[in-house]
Structure 1
């Protein structure tokens, strides 16, 4: 159990990444005395992933600020309905409405290069046919996901990327916690994984406090940890 005079920041990674993508942000927040939890996002489906993150948040003593990167934004929009969640921070993320899917949201805007550079594979499902999961093609990963990250780091990120169940793109959100809780959003101005217009639209619709970083890639938490941590810090202090 975690206890802090400030809200605990729960950092939820998105697709094609893991909790280690928050390393620089975690260090910044911990230096400021902010408690941080960075759980693994299962990446198996929006409702099941949100239920897991909601369970993590509910077991923390005191208020929680949920932070979602990329697909993690859709996850926290649902999981944020948890009683002790007091704020939401979206980092280069989808900000979904209740009843809306990722595909519907991004389909309103020109598609990013990500869509045509996904590699499909299958994984076993007990009692059912194998399901499809996707990763980013290795040769396309640097430009699409982490164009402003050093090449040596990007090579590791491409190798360790975690796949997302393809069904996550069509599953609709059962809640939009931003309708009742304050939100903050960081738009990555040079994002090639999610069209920045998708990020801006969702953030504005949610009435979020918005910060945009010009030239930032989708991996903004890796390339610009100080700026990402600063926005989270603002949210934690504002809700504590």
Structure 2
């Protein structure tokens, strides 16, 4: 089997550039890595978009998801012959019927709800963003302030339906594929206890906890995230 291509999927309130540091590190190590857009409209449609990107590559793929992107890769990998493994970066790994919103509140500690602002779409749903003034502290507390402000200004809104949509597949991909997890203990979006719970439930082959790291752990600690991705690639080789 050829070495898997790493496909990175961003989460809510972010965009593909959030993977820039990880991609730079992986490419410097000779790893083929790309980031694919995530429309943030619904788990079902977002997963279909990622699945199409995976199928276009023409070889094995290691899917890497951040935050809500974890729910997307969990669905996108179902039934895919190309998907070889899953890496969750401060990410949701929902079981059938679970929602990102429900998992966020399952354990105490998230302050995300206090910072989210809604904009009606006219169809009964809303687009959500993190208040741009509050974003640096909420989302990226360990990222240089000027960089966090840029991330706040360039964040992609997520449709509230996506966060409340039950995970579709009866058998989510983490039940059939090997998985790895990395997250920070300073995450204010998804409590570390919740991330730990999902990693343990999925049977994570390796879980890395970075002391004090924020929800933007891939931005603040790209080398550590890249290291775990390479561990996953080594396991799959």
Query: Which TM-score band applies after superposition, normalised by the shorter structure?
Result: over 0.9
- Structure 2 residues without counterparts, runs of 5 or longer: none
In the alignment, which residue of structure 2 is the partner of 1:187?
Answer: 183
Say which SS state the counterpart of residue 168 (structure 2) adopts: coil
| Mapping of residues 73-222 of structure 1, within 5 Å | 73-81=70-78, 82-123=80-121, 129=123, 131-175=125-169, 176-208=172-204, 209-222=206-219
**Hey, what's the Cα distance between the residues in 2 that align with 1:23 and 1:78?**
24
In the alignment, which residue of structure 2 is the partner of 1:60?
Answer: 57
**Hey, what's the Cα distance between the residues in 1 that align with 2:121 and 2:50?**
22
1:8 aligns with 2:5: yes
**Hey, what's the Cα distance between the residues in 1 that align with 2:220 and 2:201?**
27
The CA RMSD over aligned residues, in Å, is 1.3
Deviations 1:178-200 (A, max 9, x none): 10000000021100111111111
Residue 169 of structure 1 deviates from its aligned partner by 1.8
Residue 111 of structure 1 deviates from its aligned partner by 4.8
Residue 103 of structure 1 deviates from its aligned partner by 2.3
1:51 aligns with 2:45: no
**Hey, what's the Cα distance between the residues in 2 that align with 1:123 and 1:234?**
42
Q: How many residues align?
A: 233
1:235 aligns with 2:227: no
The answer to whether the Cα contact below 8 Å between 2:183 and 2:217 also exists between their aligned partners in 1 is no
Residue 130 of structure 1 deviates from its aligned partner by 5.5
In the alignment, which residue of structure 2 is the partner of 1:28?
Answer: 25
Say which SS state the counterpart of residue 38 (structure 1) adopts: strand
1:41 aligns with 2:35: no
TM-score, L = length of structure 1:
0.93
Say which SS state the counterpart of residue 193 (structure 2) adopts: helix
The answer to whether the Cα contact below 8 Å between 1:6 and 1:237 also exists between their aligned partners in 2 is no
TM-score, L = length of structure 2:
0.95
**Hey, what's the Cα distance between the residues in 2 that align with 1:223 and 1:211?**
14
Residue 131 of structure 1 deviates from its aligned partner by 2.8
Say which SS state the counterpart of residue 88 (structure 1) adopts: strand
**Hey, what's the Cα distance between the residues in 1 that align with 2:101 and 2:151?**
25
